[in-house]
A and B are shown apart, each in its own frame.
Chain A
Amino acid sequence: MNELGSPLDTFREEARELLEQLEQHLMQLEEDPTDHDSIDGAFRALHTIKGSGNMFDLDDLVGFTHIVEAVFVRVRDGKLPVSKDLIDLSLQARDHISSLLNETETGAADNETDERSQLLSKAFEAYLGDEAQSVSGEVFETHDSATANHSQHESEGEFTYRIEFTPASDSFLTGANPLLILNELAELGSILKIGYCEAIPDLKEIEPEHCYLRWVILLTTDQGENAVRDVFIFVEGSAEIKIDVIAEADPLMGESGYKRLGEILVDRGEIDPKDLEAAVSSKSYIGEVLVKKGFVSEEQINSALQEQNYVRDIRENRRTVETSTTIKVKVEKLDELVNLVGEFVTMHAGIAMVAERKNDQDFRAAAEQMEGLIRQVRDLSIELHMVPVEILFSGYRRLVRDLSEDLSKQVQLKLEGTETELDKNVIDSLKDPLLHIIRNSIDHGIESPELRKKKGKSPTGTLRLSAYYSGASVVIQVVDDGAGMDVERIRQKGIERGVIDTSDRYSEQDILQLIFAPGFSTNEQATSVSGRGVGMDVVRRNIEAIGGSIRIETAKDVGTTLSIRIPLTLAIVDGLLSRIGDSLYLINLSYIVECLDLQDVRKGGNGGDMIDFRGEIVPFLDLRSYFGVEGDRSEHPQLVVVAIEEKKIGLVVDDLLDKYQSVIKSLGKVYEQVEGISGAIILGDGKPALMLDIDRLVKVTRDEVKK
Chain B
Amino acid sequence: MSTVSQHDSSVGASLGATAAAQAEAADTEKYLVFSVAQEKYAVEVVRVEEVIEAYGITPVPRTPSYLLGIINLRGRIVPVLCVRRRFGFEAAVTSSDTRLVVLQVHLGEEMVSLGAVLDAVHGVVDISPSEIEKRPTLGNDENQHIAVTSIAKHENELLLVLNADLLLTKEYLDNSYEHLRQRVVG
Contact = CB atoms under 8 A, between A and B. Distances in A.
Interface of A: 1, 339, 343, 583, 626-629, 665-671, 673-677, 680, 682, 686-690
B72 A1 contact: no
Nearest to A580: B61
Contact of B75 (A339, A669, A670): A339
B71 interface: yes
B7 interface: no
24 contacts: A1-B6, A583-B59, A626-B61, A665-B76, A667-B70, A667-B77, A669-B110, A670-B107, A670-B112, A670-B114, A671-B67, A671-B79, A673-B174, A674-B60, A674-B61, A674-B63, A677-B61, A682-B77, A686-B72, A687-B58, A687-B72, A688-B71, A689-B58, A690-B60
Interface string B46-75: 000000000010111111000100111001
Interface in B64-117: 67, 70-72, 75-79, 81, 107-108, 110, 112, 114
B1 interface: yes
Contacts of A671: 60, 63, 67, 70, 79
A668 B58 contact: no
Most chain B CB neighbours (cut-off 10 Å) among A627, A670, A673, A688: A670
Contact of B79 (A626, A629, A670, A677): A670
A687 B70 CA distance: 9
A674 B72 contact: no
B70 A680 contact: yes
Contacts of A686: 56, 72
A627 to B, nearest CB: 4
A669 B62 CA distance: 15
B62 A676 contact: yes
B72 A628 contact: no
- Quick one: which of B5, B71, B77 has the most chain A CB within 10 A? B77
A689 to B, nearest CB: 6
Given A339-B75, A680-B70, A690 B110 contact: no
Given A676-B61, A690-B60, 17 more contacts: A626-B62, A627-B62, A628-B61, A666-B77, A667-B60, A667-B77, A669-B108, A669-B110, A670-B79, A670-B81, A676-B62, A680-B58, A682-B72, A686-B56, A686-B72, A687-B56, A687-B58
A674 B62 contact: yes
Contacts of A680: 58, 70, 77
10 tightest A-B CB contacts, nearest first = A627-B61, A670-B79, A688-B58, A673-B177, A665-B77, A680-B77, A688-B72, A682-B72, A688-B70, A669-B107
Interface in B21-56: 56
B132 interface: no
B62 A688 contact: no
B13 interface: no
B122 to A, nearest CB: 27
Given A671-B70, A680-B70, A688 B63 contact: no
B112 A669 contact: yes
Contacts of A626: 61-62
Nearest to B9: A1
Nearest to B59: A583
Contact of A668 (B1, B75, B77, B81): B77
B125 interface: no
A680 B173 CA distance: 20
Given A1-B1, A689-B58, A670 B173 contact: yes
Contacts of B124: none
Contacts of A667: 60, 70, 77, 79
Nearest to B174: A673
Interface of B: 1, 5-6, 56, 58-63, 67, 70-72, 75-79, 81, 107-108, 110, 112, 114, 168, 173-174, 177
Contact of A688 (B5, B77, B112, B174): B77
Contacts of B59: 583
A677 B60 contact: yes
B67 A670 contact: yes
Report which residue of B60, B71, B76, B173 has the largest number of chain A beta carbons within 10 angstroms of its beta carbon: B60
Contacts of A629: 61
Nearest to B173: A670
Contacts of B60: 667, 671, 674, 677, 690
A665 B63 CA distance: 18
A693 to B, nearest CB: 11
B8 to A, nearest CB: 13
B56 A670 contact: no
B166 to A, nearest CB: 15
B94 to A, nearest CB: 16
B154 to A, nearest CB: 31
Given A343-B75, A688-B70, A668 B112 contact: yes
Nearest to A342: B75
A674 B60 CA distance: 8
Contacts of A669: 107-108, 110, 112
B58 A690 contact: yes
Contacts of A687: 56, 58, 72
B7 to A, nearest CB: 12
A339 B5 CA distance: 24
B114 to A, nearest CB: 7
Residue in A628, A675, A676, A688 whose Cβ sees the most chain B Cβ within 10 Å: A688
Given A1-B1, A688-B70, A682 B75 contact: yes
Nearest to A339: B75
Contacts of B5: 1
Contacts of B79: 667-668, 670-671
Contacts of B173: 670, 673
Contacts of B174: 673
Given A1-B1, A665-B77, A688-B72, A670 B58 contact: no
Contacts of B177: 673
A203 B114 CA distance: 87
A567 to B, nearest CB: 20
A583 B108 contact: no
A665 to B, nearest CB: 5
Contacts of A627: 61-62
Contacts of A339: 75
Nearest to A676: B62
Contacts of B78: 668
A449 to B, nearest CB: 40
A279 B58 CA distance: 87
B128 to A, nearest CB: 31
A675 B75 CA distance: 24
Interface centre among B1, B59, B61, B107 (most CB of A within 10 A): B61
A304 to B, nearest CB: 64
Contacts of B107: 669-670
Contacts of B58: 583, 680, 687-690
Contacts of B6: 1
A682 B75 CA distance: 7
Contacts of B110: 669
B102 to A, nearest CB: 13
A661 to B, nearest CB: 16
Contacts of A670: 67, 79, 81, 107, 112, 114, 168, 173
Contacts of B61: 583, 626-629, 674, 676-677
B15 to A, nearest CB: 20
A676 B63 CA distance: 11
Nearest to A679: B77
A178 to B, nearest CB: 60
Contacts of A628: 61-62
Contacts of A675: 62
Contacts of B108: 669
A500 to B, nearest CB: 16
A669 B61 CA distance: 16
A665 B70 CA distance: 12
Contacts of B62: 626-628, 674-677
